[in-house]
């Protein structure tokens, strides 16, 4: 859909604009029901730039905005503010108060105000539509491979590295304890192969260079062997070590390796962690 919009803009010699909303509309419509967030606003902007979008427009979703009728939405937002020549949307797109606006009403507005409407067929496979709801379900189930297939990239969780209990270092597997923002879509408890990246420009930290991804084995869960209660995301970087506390990092989940287990001894846990690290390395090397 974004590619179609960019191609349309290039043919017309105008800017390609991607419009998104913040906060998520459901948080305003039904406070407290915010769905798990698949991408941060910053990440969305980065992905839009990679797709050659010229303008990333974040529209504040408020009670007043929610009450705009489809007619006012088209006139005030699309025409008066954005001066659109063409609008590219999914074929199931709805808009305006109580989602009363449809592709048909948008096309009527287009005829009235002089813009084209391109309704893009939804993507899917095996009778499954690749929607955000489907992707969230895959992530929630720990099927990060299926989520990546739908997204076209691995599912990413960002956050700041915070101090944990320090057990990983004591066991020979120092981990970065990643604290993600509220509402982040976190995969099901278990161990995963993935990539670890320190975000933003900056000097090399230990053996980790910001902006360069590193192989990682990632644990999501409560550390049941130690009767933990707090659910955490911890990444063990396979080919490097650094003091990453306070750094903004990203973890890209590639493949689920095993479920979370409670081991009868610390020695059993150490053996399993070593096996996880080697399996993660094999999976990631195979995908290079």
> Quick one: pLDDT at residue 87?
98
CATH for 155-286 (3.40.50.2020, 3.30.470.10, 2.40.30.30, 3.40.1280.10):
2.40.30.30
pLDDT given for residue 208 in this prediction: 78
In whole angstroms, what is the distance from residue 9 CA to residue 215 CA?
38
Q: Which two tokens stand for residue 262?
A: 């409670």
User: In this structure, how many other beta carbons lie within 10 angstroms of the beta carbon of residue 253?
Assistant: 25
Which DSSP string corresponds to 181-207?
Answer: PTTB-PPPSEEEEEEEEE-SS---BTT
- Spatial distance between the Cα atoms of 76 and 206, rounded to a whole number of angstroms: 52
Give SS3 for 234.
Answer: strand
CB 210, CB 117: distance < 8 Å: no
Sign of torsion over alpha carbons 20, 22, 27, 28: negative
What is the pLDDT at residue 80?
96
CA separation for the pair 137, 114 (Å, rounded): 39
Question: CA 256, CA 263: separation in Å to the nearest integer?
Answer: 19
Neighbours of 105 (CB within 10 A): 19
Domain boundaries, the chain: 2-122, 155-286
- Which residue, among 102, 54, 106, 98, has the nearest Cα to 78 in the 3D structure? 106
Q: Tell me if domain 2-122 and domain 155-286 are identical in fold.
A: no
**Which CATH number applies to 2-122?**
3.40.50.620
- List the structure tokens of 155: 């599912």
Give the CA-trace dihedral at 34, 39, 45, 48, to 10 degrees: -110
CB-side neighbour CA atoms (13 Å) of 57: 12
The pLDDT value given to residue 268: 93
Q: What predicted TM-score, i.e. pTM, was given to this entire model?
A: 0.89
User: How far apart, in whole angstroms, are the C-alpha atoms of residue 264 and residue 272?
Assistant: 12
pLDDT for res 288: 66
Mean pLDDT by 10 residues, the chain (288 residues): 96 97 87 88 94 96 94 96 96 94 97 97 84 95 96 96 81 90 94 93 73 93 83 90 85 97 91 95 90
pLDDT score at 71: 97
């Amino acid at each position: 859909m974004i590619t179609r919009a960019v191609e349309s803009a290039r043919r017309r010699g105008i800017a390609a604009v991607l419009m998104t909303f913040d906060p998520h509309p459901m948080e305003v419509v039904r406070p407290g029901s915010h769905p798990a967030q698949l991408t941060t606003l910053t990440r969305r902007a980065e992905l839009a730039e990679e797709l050659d979008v010229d303008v990333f427009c974040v529209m504040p979703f408020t009670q007043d905005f929610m009450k705009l009728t489809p007619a006012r939405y088209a006139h005030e937002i699309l025409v008066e503010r954005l001066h659109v020549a063409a609008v590219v949307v999914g074929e199931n797109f709805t808009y305006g108060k109580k989602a009363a606006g449809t592709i048909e009403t948008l096309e009527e507005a287009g005829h009235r105000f002089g813009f084209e409407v391109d309704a893009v067929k939804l993507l899917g496979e095996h009778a499954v539509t690749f929607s955000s709801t489907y992707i969230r379900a895959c992530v929630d189930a720990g099927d990060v491979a299926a989520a990546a297939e739908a997204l076209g990239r691995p599912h990413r969780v960002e956050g700041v590295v915070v101090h944990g209990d320090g057990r990983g270092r004591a066991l020979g597997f120092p981990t970065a304890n990643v604290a993600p923002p509220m509402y982040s879509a976190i995969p099901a408890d278990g161990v995963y192969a993935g990539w670890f990246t320190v975000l933003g420009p900056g000097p090399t930290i230990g053996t980790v260079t910001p902006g360069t991804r590193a192989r990682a084995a990632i644990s999501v869960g409560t550390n049941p062997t130690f009767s933990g209660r707090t659910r955490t995301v911890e990444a063990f970087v396979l080919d490097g070590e650094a003091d990453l506390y306070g750094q903004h990092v990203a973890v890209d989940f590639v493949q689920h390796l095993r479920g979370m287990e409670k081991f009868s001894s610390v020695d059993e846990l150490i053996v399993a962690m070593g096996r996880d690290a080697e399996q993660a390395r094999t999976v990631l090397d195979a995908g290079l």
